[in-house]
Structure 1
Amino acid sequence: MTNVLHVNATVSCPHGGRASYLPASPRVNLSGQPAATVAGAWLIAGCPFAVGPKPQPCVTIRWVTPAARVTVAGAPVVTQASTGLCLSAEQVPQGPPLVTVVQQRTKGV
């Protein structure tokens, strides 16, 4: 079991860009904040990554292995142990997201 992420979890791309979560369903709250699911959008701002002279910043996160048993409105929740990929605007994988701060009360598998 691992901690479930919510809207105020601290998540970043491998290059230091900060991820923000836009909930698809704010029906379930953890510590007063909407729980994070794969149905919501994870947007990244401030990624400085470039390939040669071409800027190639991370702009979104796609979670590939969310929780297997815990869902909100039918969508699996994202946990601290979930595996994801940070993607550029061209959908090029840039590396895994880094989860550094999460709520400590609710856990899921």
Structure 2
Amino acid sequence: MPGFLLHMGATVQCAHAGQAQPSSPNPRVRVGGQAVVTQAAPYLVAGCMMPPPLAGNGPCVTAQWISAAMRVRAGGAPVLLQDSQAICAPTATPLSVLVTQMRVKGV
């Protein structure tokens, strides 16, 4: 499915409202003046509300993307799209893309 490309300024959260940011966006490819993000870069999660191990298995710390664009690459790695899927560690919950740029689409 086509979807809008994720960029550094996209709003991404874990299932427990923690803010997720890419660990290393691609500095050479930009949309709207901000670097795009590839599947190779794990996301770092801060502010996850999942309780620590005695009451739960959280909080979310990192997330790895398991799906990305099939045809669009930056620096040899597939770019992330608005509908890309990710799994957080250690909770195994998904990330949600809430806001991203709305001009450039990829497949």
TM-score by length of 1: 0.88
Q: What is the root-mean-square deviation in Å for CA atoms of aligned residues?
A: 1.5
- Equivalences, count: 105
Which segment drifts farther, 10-19 or 58-67?
58-67
CA deviation map 1:71-95 (0-9, x unaligned): 001100000111111112xxx51x1
Distance 2:36 2:13 in 1: 17
Cα distance, 1:40 vs structure 2 = 2.0
Indicate the SS of the match to 1:8: coil
Could you list the runs of 5+ residues in structure 1 that have no partner in the other structure? none
Where in structure 2 are there 5+ consecutive unaligned residues? none
Corresponding residue for residue 20 of structure 1: 21
- Structure 1 residue 24 displacement after superposition: 4.6
Deviations along 1:40-75, one digit per CA (max 9) or x if unpaired, are: 231000002125435611111111011111100110
Alignment partner for residue 61 of structure 1, among 52, 60, 63? 63
- Secondary structure of 2:49's aligned partner: coil
> Does the Cα contact within 8 Å between 2:42 and 2:65 map onto a contact in 1?
no
**1:82 paired to 2:80:** no
* Residues 43, 59 of structure 1: 8 Å contact kept: yes
The 1-side partners of 2:54 and 2:17 are apart by 18
- Asked if 1 retains the 8 angstrom alpha-carbon contact of 2:22 and 2:42, the reply is yes
Q: 1:106 maps to which residue?
A: 104
1:11-50 equivalences in 2 (<5 Å)? 11-50=12-51
Extract structure 1 runs of 4+ deviating beyond 4 A.
Answer: none
Q: Distance in 1 between matches of 2:11 and 2:104?
A: 16
When you count strand as a share of all residues, which structure comes out higher? 1
